[in-house]
Amino acid sequence: MTMQILLPKLGFSVNEANLVEWMVADGTQVAKGDPLYALESEKSVQEIEAPVAGVLKIMKAAGEVYEVGTVIGEIG
């Protein structure tokens, strides 16, 4: 079952954040809890873990700012 990776809201008055880098390559098999990507929002850079196990499909490139809720990838 494919799970969408949504850009989260981390912080108080943020509605967007910078997807700093993907920590695994497109197509990699990840386990739940593996570091997946780094997110920079108002306070700091946070590491976001894989919410489920599966194969990562990257849908948005790193190095860009996206709105909270943007589908940045899928794990299936």
Partner 1 sequence: MSEMASPDRATLLEIYRIATLIKTADDRFIELIKAGQIASPYYSPRGQELIPAAISVNLRPSDTVVTTYRGIHDQLGKGIPLKPFVAEFMGKATGTCKGKGGPMHITHVASGLPVTTGIVGAGLPIANGLAWAAQLRKSDDVTVCNFGDGATNIGAFHEALNLASVWKLPVIFVCQNNGYAEHTKYELGTSSRTIADRAIAYGMTGVEVDGNDAIAMWNAARSAVGRARAGEGPTLIDAKTFRFRGHLLGDDSHYISKDEMAQAMAADPLPRLRAWLIDQGHATDGALTDLERTNEQAFEEAVRFGLDSPFPDVSELDLDVYAMETAA
Sites for partner 1 among residues 27-56 (CB under 8 A): 41-46, 48-49, 51
* Residue number, 28 or 70, with CB nearest to partner 1: 70
When asked if residue 10 is in the footprint of partner 1 (CB under 8 A), the reply is yes
Sites for partner 1 among residues 53-72 (CB under 8 A): 68-69
**How far apart are the two ends of the chain, measured CA to CA in Å?**
6
When asked if residue 7 is in the footprint of partner 1 (CB under 8 A), the reply is yes
**Tokens linked to 24:** 């695994």
